[in-house]
Amino acid sequence: MIADPNLSHWHILGAGAIGGLWALRLHSIGCRVTLIERAPLSPERRLQLTDNSHSSCHDFPVVAANAAALPLSPLLVTTKAGDTIDVIAALLPRLNAGDIVLLLQNGMGIDDWLRQQRPDLQILTAITTDGVFRPTRDHLVMAGHGETLTGGNTAVEQETAMQIALQWQKTGEVVQAVTDIQRRRWQKLAINCAINPLTARYRCRNGALLDMPEALSAMRSICAEVAEVMSLEGYPASTASLYDAACAVARQTATNTSSMLADIQAQRPTEIDFMNGHIVTMARKHGIATPSNARITAEIRALHPQPASSN
């Protein structure tokens, strides 16, 4: 018999664009939401969402990682991958066995690290195609409603993922629990590996990559290496399928500034270690070389000092 998880009070770590969006959405369906920050600027934060001509806002309580009242579960983590380890490490002693941690972030590697640290937690992952940007820290503007997929690795986590999907669907958004979340995360990772660092290299919007033969050729070699690593990890993929998917996303998001280019323009650390850098680490584990991913990882890392990597 699987216990019904209590999902009435969400804690959100890293309320940027996606975390802030889910704070407002969960509030709209009657959940309590507390924001957790490394160093809160004030005890409350007013988040505002503009979606077409409709606007909504709410004041959320904000607490420091070491001051949040327990239990912290369910905990939604939407920090940038590079910032996550430090902040979650501070929370780990305050999480109980069985607590739910849902990672909704770009890149890969954090869930493996967390499982090593705390195999007793329920660690779920999610990916989304929601598009939202922040003209200012607390103002979110919806660029496009997408789909959010979630899942876990164990039967208990999978059941929790179903409960969460059912709850989140009440917001009117497309949310699904899937049984192959890891495969889908790998596919999303492949797309990010092929688009993000190249937009940073060429300082261009996503769609412009499609007009540059040298960018397309780099995309293809990155995809070939990612396909090899995916296959070794048990998620068979072909170069052509990953390359076609990356080109299709570059076309669909042609006018977007990728998150990596945005980070570089704002002089923030990028997520390269959790994208192409993760491919290099996984390839090394399997004893193969991934020179295109290694080269672009080094190039992007050189543009901005990266925080210590988990990989």
Q: What residues are annotated to the active site?
A: 188
Nearer to ligand KPL, 84 or 196 (CB): 196
Nearer to ligand KPL, 81 or 191 (CB): 191
For ligand KPL, which residue of 31, 47, 195, 200 counts as binding (CB under 6 A)?
195
d(CA 109, CA 128): 17
Beta strands 9-13 and 122-128, pairing class? unpaired
Dihedral angle sign, alpha carbons of residues 19, 22, 27, 33: negative
Nearer to ligand KPL, 23 or 260 (CB): 260
Q: Which residue has the tokens 């004893």?
A: 287
For ligand KPL, which residue of 167, 187, 196, 276 counts as binding (CB under 6 A)?
196
Nearer to ligand KPL, 154 or 252 (CB): 252
Q: What angle do CA 175, 195, 81 make, to 5 degrees?
A: 60
Closest approach of ligand KPL to the CB of residue 27, in Å:
25
Site track for ligand KPL across 237-256, x = CB under 6 A: ------------x---x--x
Q: Which of residues 197-226 bind ligand KPL (CB under 6 A)?
A: 206
- Is 192 a residue that touches ligand KPL (CB under 6 A)? yes
Residues 6 or more apart whose CB falls under 8 angstroms from that of 275 comprise 106, 107, 108, 189, 192, 193, 196, 197, 260
- Listing DSSP states for 217-283 in one string gives HHHHHHHHHHHHHHHHTT----HHHHHHHHHHHHHHTTTPPPHHHHHHHTT---SGGGTHHHHHHHH
Nearer to ligand KPL, 148 or 160 (CB): 148
- Is 78 a residue that touches ligand KPL (CB under 6 A)? no
Closest approach of ligand KPL to the CB of residue 69, in Å:
34
Nearer to ligand KPL, 86 or 133 (CB): 133
How many of the chain's residues bind ligand KPL (CB under 6 A)? 11
* End-to-end CA gap in the chain: 37
d(CA 20, CA 132): 10
SS3 call for 45? strand
- Is 106 a residue that touches ligand KPL (CB under 6 A)? yes
Nearer to ligand KPL, 224 or 245 (CB): 245
Closest approach of ligand KPL to the CB of residue 196, in Å:
5
d(CA 82, CA 271): 6
Q: Which stretch binds ligand KPL (CB under 6 A): 1-9, 32-40, 170-178, 187-195?
A: 187-195
Closest approach of ligand KPL to the CB of residue 136, in Å:
20
Tell me which residue of 190, 145, 184, 137 sits closest to 161, measured CA to CA: 184
Site track for ligand KPL across 253-282, x = CB under 6 A: x--x-xx-----------------------
Closest approach of ligand KPL to the CB of residue 41, in Å:
26
Tell me which residue of 60, 158, 149 sits closest to 100, measured CA to CA: 158
Closest approach of ligand KPL to the CB of residue 76, in Å:
18
Closest approach of ligand KPL to the CB of residue 236, in Å:
22
d(CA 293, CA 91): 33
Structure tokens belonging to residue 65: 């990682």
Question: Contact positions toward ligand KPL, by CB under 6 A?
Answer: 106, 191-192, 195-196, 206, 249, 253, 256, 258-259
